[in-house]
């Protein structure tokens, strides 16, 4: 009994630390939810009240109507779908070739891929903008979609490390049976790497959903704005109506929260798979 009590006492600092982290991360979200349900007169009271009274549920339909939420949601879904699909299709293919195939220049290309990971986005921003301007794509969603479709270095690196951890005997046995490299990849290696591929797709989904810089650079028409850019515009238009702004923020964040709880296992696996293997 005394041993269990001593063990519990030793864990108290850990529990306090975890509780502090919980408050640190959940506190701002709870404040946003509370503000989204308040009247404007309740926002800056002294002392500050966390619980809204009464609950103003009408803030949500008002925010949805004023921010053109459904159009922003449609644009965001389109961009997120195609960028995620592009990452899921191209990144595993490139990673597999870098990990399991022997071809001239493979090491050089992998070194270039790793080097690109270290280049800040701001360095390539102007050259990319000039390139897409020459192509006549400014004002469309094509620049936002095309870049991930051609491969994201960090996902290629992570998937390569995962493919390196798969046994080479699977390939050799398939080659003996006469299977082509493409068939080996599609029917053997890719299914084995499916958890890592899904994790990369999940990370790209969250990245595209929250992307602000891409739409800000390349989109000119408000009818094409995504949620992140539309929320910024709504903030400019509704500067004083903080309740509506917080309600719009909750509407934007809610799909990601739901997605996380539905795919929590995949998300945790993704964090595990980011470790270096091989």
DSSP 167: -
At residue 21, the pLDDT reads: 84
pTM: 0.82
Residue 278 pLDDT > 50: no
pLDDT value of position 272 = 60
Each residue of 38-87: pLDDT tens digit? 887 777 776 777 777 778 888 888 888 888 889 999 999 999 999 999 99
What local confidence, expressed as pLDDT, does residue 277 receive?
44
Give the residue from 222, 207, 203, 206 showing the smallest Cα distance to 75: 222
CA dihedral (149, 155, 157, 161) positive or negative: negative
The better pLDDT of the pair 114, 9 is held by 114
Tell me the DSSP string of 7-69.
Answer: HHHHHHHHHHHHHHHHHHHHHHHHHHHHHHTS-GGGTT-SSPPSS-SS--TTHHHHHHHHTTH
Q: Domains of the chain: which residue ranges?
A: 2-42, 66-273
Of the candidates 275, 86, 267, 84, the residue with the CA atom closest to the CA atom of residue 162: 275
- Got the DSSP string for 220-231? --GGG--HHHHH
Token look-up 């509407």 returns 251
Model confidence over 112-157: pLDDT tens digits?
888 888 888 888 889 999 999 999 999 899 999 998 888 888 999 9
If you average pLDDT over every residue of the chain, what do you get? 83
Q: Which of these CATH numbers, 3.40.50.300, 1.10.3720.10, 3.20.20.80, 3.40.50.1000, describes 66-273? A: 1.10.3720.10
- In this prediction, residue 52 carries a pLDDT of 78
Model confidence at 237, pLDDT cuts 50, 70, 90, reads: low
Given a cut of 50, is residue 276 above it in pLDDT? no
Range ranked top by mean pLDDT from 17-21, 159-163, 174-178, 260-264: 159-163
Contacts of 135 (CB under 8 A, 6+ apart): none
Q: How far apart are CA 227 and CA 69, in angstroms?
A: 7
């Amino acid at each position: 009994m005394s041993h269990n009590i001593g063990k519990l006492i030793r864990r108290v600092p850990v529990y306090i630390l975890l509780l502090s982290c919980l408050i640190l991360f959940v506190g701002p979200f709870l404040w946003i939810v509370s503000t989204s349900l308040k009247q404007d007169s309740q926002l800056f009271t002294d002392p500050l009240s966390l619980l809204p009274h009464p609950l103003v549920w009408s803030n949500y339909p008002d925010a949805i109507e004023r921010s053109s939420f459904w159009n922003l949601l449609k644009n965001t879904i389109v961009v997120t779908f195609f960028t995620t699909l592009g990452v899921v299709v191209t990144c595993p293919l490139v990673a597999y070739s870098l990990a399991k195939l022997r071809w001239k220049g493979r090491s050089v290309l992998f070194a270039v891929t790793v080097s690109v990971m270290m280049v800040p986005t701001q360095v390539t921003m102007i050259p990319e903008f000039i390139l897409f301007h020459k192509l006549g794509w400014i004002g469309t969603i094509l620049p936002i979609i095309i870049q991930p479709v051609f491969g994201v270095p960090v996902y290629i690196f992570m998937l390569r490390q995962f493919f390196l951890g798969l046994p080479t005997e699977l390939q050799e046995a398939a080659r003996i049976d006469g299977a082509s490299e493409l068939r080996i990849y599609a029917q053997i290696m890719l299914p084995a790497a499916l958890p890592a591929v899904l994790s990369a797709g999940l990370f790209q989904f969250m990245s595209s959903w929250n992307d602000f810089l891409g739409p800000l650079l390349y989109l000119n028409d408000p009818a094409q704005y995504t949620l992140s850019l539309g929320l910024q515009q709504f903030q400019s238009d509704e500067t004083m109506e903080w309740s509506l702004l917080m309600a719009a923020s909750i509407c934007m964040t809610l799909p990601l929260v739901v997605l996380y709880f539905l795919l929590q296992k995949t998300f945790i696996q993704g964090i595990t798979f980011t470790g270096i293997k091989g």
